[in-house]
Structure 1
Amino acid sequence: MSAHTLTVAGVAVDTRHWIGGERVASPQTFPDVSPIDGGTIGEISRGTAGEAAAAVAAAQAAFPAWAATSRTERARILHAIADGVEKRLEELAIVETTDNGALLRSHRRGVMPRVAHNFRFFADWLLKLEHEDFETRGHTNHVSWDPAGPCVLITPWNAPLMLATWKVAPALAAGNTVVLKPAEWSPLTASLLADIAAEAGLPAGVLNVVQGYGAEIGDALTSHPDVRRISFTGSVPTAQRIAESAAANLTPLSLELGGKSPLLVFADADLDLAVDLAVEQYDNAGQVCLAGTRLLVEETVAEEFTRRFAEKASALKQGDPRAEATDIGPTIHPRQLEKIDGFVRRAVAAGARAVIGGHRKDGQYYAPTLLTDVAQDSEIVQEEVFGPVLTLQTFTDEEEAVRLANDTRFGLAATLATGDPERAERVTARLVAGTVWVNCFFVRDLRAPFGGSRLSGVGREGGTWSFDFYCDLRNTVTAPNGWTNHG
């Protein structure tokens, strides 16, 4: 076995970059640490500007041939990648759980099947992508989607492979080449994806994977003049730096950023359902951008809701994410744990009351927390914590509910629990959010547009919206009877 290969739960993972169809090592490395026990999994190649330049060059060199590849062939290869994901589903699941601490049962049953689905969906969507021709004064307009060029995709640590392939699959389907930069806290499954893609027959240079810190390799990627698209999921401050870096080349951006989403519970709601929806916000230890972390409950049912919520949430089992019975795993990194704890400590010092939780546990675990007695303008209500911390506020009527729901800088998602369909229609029409769920949560369909408003992001992806971003749209206008045969 190579000196650059780790064995993670029995699975071999190469720690080097994947550039131009070859493994490339860097002189320096960085440690990859498992949040489960804080132990170092191994040392990962630490790329800098040199590796960034090489990866973009490889993507640029591979672009003409891949762009000229027929839609049918591109779709076939994407389906072959999906086959490879399904073949190695168990390996991908255990490696990602070891790397980022999310539940193994969720990776097996939901996350990794979704990875395969990402490739199959965009492969199939590509084959039916079309716009009906239309006429202007007898002239025919024909809309087409042309490959844009090399794309830089920078992905987060909370759902590493699923969110990476949510970007990689449409970019490749569109005929682009890709440089994927996974988060340094969870890089391992991106390396496995490179192996799977190569085995599926994806030509060298079409997908490149580089690892490292944002300041050392990310800036070099986002400022490169040959990059034609940048897609990023992560924090607002990082997105602002990426936007500044991309501005010199006017590189188009797609940004899916933070959220501080509301979950509104009206008195006419099914309270058992509302409680279930609220407790579900602790999924992945609260490390979900879409989570409805601000519980807004109608005053007349707030006491009963809080009692039921505390009872149900307190029964959640927190521990090793590899255990089938575990409901909540660890936070990703000691730095993230300290950030979460800091938010809660400052909130309590300012007068908030912890109904449940409010403290760290052994290792990198933070107790599921619900804070009440919080002011609308307080930090804990206005800023994204990205951990298992919810706040609860009350409202007296629809007007106040909507006002509180919209009173942040974000607008990623919202969840509404009500038994009145007319109220649901009125309220959802006024919420500032890219996605609104009514009496449900986290139901996602790749045919739907996904993205955020305000500081929650720029652009929409999913279905044709993804191709609109990853392509240069062309409209060809042809004159009527304009053909002359010069024989």
Structure 2
Amino acid sequence: MSEHTITVAGVAVDTRHWIGGERVASAQTFPDVSPIDGSTIGEISRGTGMEAAAAVAAAKAAFPAWAATSRAERARILHAIADGVEKRIEELSIVETTDNGALLRSHRRGVMPRVAHNFRFFADWLLKLEHEDFETRGHTNHVSWDPAGPSVLITPWNAPLMLATWKVAPALAAGNTVILKPAEWTPLTASLLADIAAEAGLPAGVLNVVQGYGSEIGDALTSHPDVRRISFTGSVPTAKRIAESAAANLTPLSLELGGKSPLLVFADADLDLAVDLAVEQYDNAGQVCLAATRFLVEESVAEEFTRRFVEKAGQLTQGDPRGEATDIGPNIHPLQLEKIDGFVQRAVAAGARAVIGGHRKDGQYYAPTLLTAVAQDSEIVQEEIFGPVLTLQTFATEDEAVRLANDTRFGLAATLATGDPERAERVTAQLVAGTVWTNCFFVRDLQAPFGGSRHSGVGREGGTWSFDFYCDVKNTVTSPNGWNNHG
């Protein structure tokens, strides 16, 4: 076993970068720490501008051949990558859980199968991607999607491999080459993906994986003049820095950012359903960008809703995410835990009441929390926390509910509980959000557009929208005249 290989729950993981089809070590490393118990999993190669330049150069060199590869062959290789993921679901699941603290049962049953599906979906969508030709004054218009070039993909830590492949799969399907930079807190499954892709026959340089801190390698990637696309999922402040970095080269950006999404509960809703939807917002220890963290409940049912919510939330089991019965695991990092607790303590000091939770537990665990008596303009209502912290406010009228729901700088998602289909239609039409769920939550289909409004993002991912971003969309207009007569 190489000195650069670590063993995570029996799974060998290479800690070096993957550049141009080879493993590349850096002179320096950074520690990767498990949120489960705070132990150091291993030392990871810490990339700088040198590794960034090498990865972009490898992607640039590999681009012409990959772009010229037929759609059918690109799709075949993406399906082969999906096959490799499916063969290693158990390994990927235990490594991811160790690295980011999300539930092992969720990884096994949902997240890792979704990783494979990401590749299969975009492989299949590629083969049917087309726009019907149309005529203009007798001339034929033909729309095509041309590969754009090397693409930098910067991905978050809350669902590392799933969210990475959400970008990697369409970028590769489009004919682009990729430089993937995973979050420094969760780099391990990206390294395993490089192995799986190579085994599936993906040519060298088509997928490159570089690790490190954003300030040391991220800036070098996003400012590189040979990069043709940048896709980022993460925080608003980081997105602003990336946009500034990309501006010099006018590099197109896709940004999926934060959320402060509402859950609107009307008096005519099925309260048991509404409570189920509400408790679901603690998923992944609250580390979900789409989470409906602001409960807006009609006054007449607020007391009963709160009573039922407290009862059901009290049945959740918090602990080691590897346990089959665990519902809530740890938060990702001590810095994130500090941030979460800071939000809560400032809110309580300002007059908020913790109906449940409101405190840390041992290790990197934060008690599921619900705060009431919060002002609409308060920090706890307006800013993304990214932890198991929810707020509850009441409203008297439908108009007030919509006003409160839209009164943040975000617009990623919204969830609505009502028994009146006409009200649902009225309200959803007024909500500022990229995705709205009515009487459900987290129902996702890759052919649907996904993205945010306002400070929640720029652009849309999914289906043809992904290809529109990763490609240069071309229209070719052909005259019926001027052809030589060749008999």
Q: Per the shorter chain, which TM-score range?
A: over 0.9
Taking the aligned partners of 1:451 and 1:83, their CA distance within structure 2 comes to: 28
- Using the size of structure 2 for normalisation, the TM-score is 1.00
Q: Secondary structure at the match of 2:474?
A: strand
Taking the aligned partners of 2:282 and 2:56, their CA distance within structure 1 comes to: 38
Taking the aligned partners of 2:41 and 2:261, their CA distance within structure 1 comes to: 34
Q: Secondary structure at the match of 1:443?
A: coil
User: CA deviation digits over 1:414-465, x for unaligned, max 9?
Assistant: 0000000000000000000000000000000000000000000000010000
Shift of 1:408: 0.1
Taking the aligned partners of 2:424 and 2:250, their CA distance within structure 1 comes to: 40
Taking the aligned partners of 1:368 and 1:138, their CA distance within structure 2 comes to: 65
Q: Which residue of 2 aligns with 1:10?
A: 10
Taking the aligned partners of 2:480 and 2:137, their CA distance within structure 1 comes to: 9
Taking the aligned partners of 1:317 and 1:250, their CA distance within structure 2 comes to: 48
Taking the aligned partners of 2:486 and 2:430, their CA distance within structure 1 comes to: 61
- Using the size of structure 1 for normalisation, the TM-score is 1.00
Shift of 1:124: 0.1
User: CA deviation digits over 1:371-410, x for unaligned, max 9?
Assistant: 0000000000000000000000000010000000000000
Shift of 1:315: 1.3
Shift of 1:97: 0.1
Taking the aligned partners of 1:357 and 1:331, their CA distance within structure 2 comes to: 15
Q: Which residue of 2 aligns with 1:284?
A: 284
Shift of 1:486: 6.9
Taking the aligned partners of 1:25 and 1:94, their CA distance within structure 2 comes to: 25
User: CA deviation digits over 1:225-255, x for unaligned, max 9?
Assistant: 0000000000000000000000000000000
Taking the aligned partners of 2:384 and 2:397, their CA distance within structure 1 comes to: 26
Q: Which residue of 1 aligns with 2:443?
A: 443
Structure 1 portions without partners, runs of 5+: none
Taking the aligned partners of 1:348 and 1:288, their CA distance within structure 2 comes to: 23
Map 1:258-277 onto structure 2 (within 5 A). Answer: 258-277=258-277
Shift of 1:314: 1.4
Q: Secondary structure at the match of 1:135?
A: strand
Q: Which residue of 2 aligns with 1:314?
A: 314
Taking the aligned partners of 1:39 and 1:262, their CA distance within structure 2 comes to: 36
Shift of 1:485: 3.1
Taking the aligned partners of 2:121 and 2:325, their CA distance within structure 1 comes to: 32
Taking the aligned partners of 1:280 and 1:154, their CA distance within structure 2 comes to: 27
Taking the aligned partners of 1:238 and 1:461, their CA distance within structure 2 comes to: 19
Shift of 1:149: 0.2
Taking the aligned partners of 1:204 and 1:69, their CA distance within structure 2 comes to: 14
Taking the aligned partners of 2:441 and 2:367, their CA distance within structure 1 comes to: 22
Shift of 1:472: 0.2
User: CA deviation digits over 1:59-114, x for unaligned, max 9?
Assistant: 00000000000000000000000000000000000000000000000000000000
User: CA deviation digits over 1:302-343, x for unaligned, max 9?
Assistant: 000000001111111000000000000000000000000000
Aligned pairs, number: 487
User: CA deviation digits over 1:134-187, x for unaligned, max 9?
Assistant: 000000000000000000000000000000000000000000000000000000
Taking the aligned partners of 2:52 and 2:3, their CA distance within structure 1 comes to: 23
Q: Secondary structure at the match of 1:337?
A: helix
Taking the aligned partners of 2:480 and 2:195, their CA distance within structure 1 comes to: 51
Shift of 1:480: 1.5
Provide the alpha-carbon RMSD of the alignment. Answer: 0.6
Q: Secondary structure at the match of 2:201?
A: coil
Shift of 1:484: 2.0
User: CA deviation digits over 1:275-316, x for unaligned, max 9?
Assistant: 000000000000000000000000000000000001111111
Taking the aligned partners of 1:247 and 1:11, their CA distance within structure 2 comes to: 41
